[in-house]
Amino acid sequence: MDAVTPSLEVAGLAFAYPDGHQALFGVDFTIGRGERVALLGPNGAGKTTLVLHLNGILSGGTGTVTVAGLPVGKRHMAEIRRRVGIVFQDPDDQLFMPTVREDVAFGPAAAGMKGAELEERVRTALERVGMEAFADRPPHHLSFGQRRRVAVATVLAMEPEILVLDEPSSNLDPASRRELGDILRSLDVTVLMVTHDLPYALELCPRSLVLSEGVIAADGKTGELLSDDELMRTHRLELPFGFDPRSVTMGA
């Protein structure tokens, strides 16, 4: 894949759930290779609905999603699932094997990896999220935050083209939240991160999209969007008490 083909292109994406509720009304944006972008927006804005379109879990609306030049659709589903790693909002939607190790091995094994290479892949992914000591435990015996970290490992193990995280910092203790941020910053991968944690967005993502009522309401530098009081109010985005985005200097 060449350097100029974007990791993700979403064009004219509209979608209504089977009960008739329309969640997306024509969403357009492009994310270049290696960008880290936050997807912000109030409850019910359509963020998760959008995320579920990125690897074809939801489909059947109008518009297109393209991952590194490959259209998301039934034809290329296996390849798309390899390229797009989604950490779901609820880790219990992601973990279903008897042990943590098997959950992390599942994706790479399905893609044909085995033996020592697979073991090494699993070990590295668990180590990155600080969960290597939990490899033989059943996921359902872990705390929520531990399950989230394992869910991140299942996706890291796939070495995806684009990593999509739906509220990755929710229910993480402050140290785990920071450690996950360090991991995301250290990866040489395109990241789209849905979050209500606006300081986290500012810290990790130079660019943000605001999704509101099923359309992209803003697309720009995270610091500028968070400093736009009118925009923030209109889309029910609130900074934590005492947090001033203007006083934060972004790392490289």
Footprint on this chain of Mg ion (rule: CB under 5 A): 47-48
As separate numbers, helices (DSSP H) first and strands (DSSP E) second, the chain gives 9, 10
> What is the distance between the alpha carbons of residues 57 and 66, in angstroms, rounded to a whole number?
14
- What angle separates helix 174-186 from helix 144-156, to the nearest 10 degrees? 10
Least distance in angstroms from the C-beta of 111 to ligand ATP: 28
Q: Is 195 in the site for ligand ATP (CB under 6 A)?
A: no
Q: Identify which of residues 137 and 177 has a Cβ nearer to ligand ATP in the complex.
A: 177
Q: Which two tokens stand for residue 54?
A: 């990125």
For the chain, the maximum distance between any two Cα atoms, rounded to a whole number of angstroms, is: 56
CA–CA gap between residue 97 and residue 168 (Å, rounded): 21
Q: What is the x/- site pattern for ligand ATP, positions 32-71, by CB under 6 A?
A: ---------x-xxxxxxx----------------------
Phi, psi of 154 (to 5 degrees): -60, -35
Q: Which is nearer to ligand ATP, 46 or 245 (CB)?
A: 46
Decide: 158 and 108 in contact? Cβ < 8 Å.
Answer: yes
Q: What's the min distance (Å) between Cβ of 246 and ligand ATP?
A: 25
Backbone angles phi, psi at 207, to 5 degrees: -125, 145
User: Which of the choices Mg ion, ligand ATP, none does residue 186 contact, using the CB cut-off of 5 to 8 A by kind?
Assistant: none
Q: Give least dist CB 211 to ligand ATP, A.
A: 7
Q: Which of residues 100-119 bind ligand ATP (CB under 6 A)?
A: none
Nearer to ligand ATP, 107 or 208 (CB): 208
| CA atoms within 13 A of residue 250's CA, in its CB half-sphere | 15
Q: How far is the CB of 110 from ligand ATP (least distance, A)?
A: 26
Q: Which stretch binds ligand ATP (CB under 6 A): 17-25, 63-71, 100-108, 222-230?
A: 17-25
Give the span between the Cα atoms of 169 and 149, in whole angstroms. Answer: 10
**Minimum CB–partner distance for residue 31 and ligand ATP (Å):** 18
Which residue, 27 or 157, is less far from ligand ATP as judged by CB?
27
The strand pairing partners of 39, in sequence order, are: 194, 209
Which residues lie near ligand ATP (CB under 6 A)? 17, 19, 21, 23, 41, 43-49
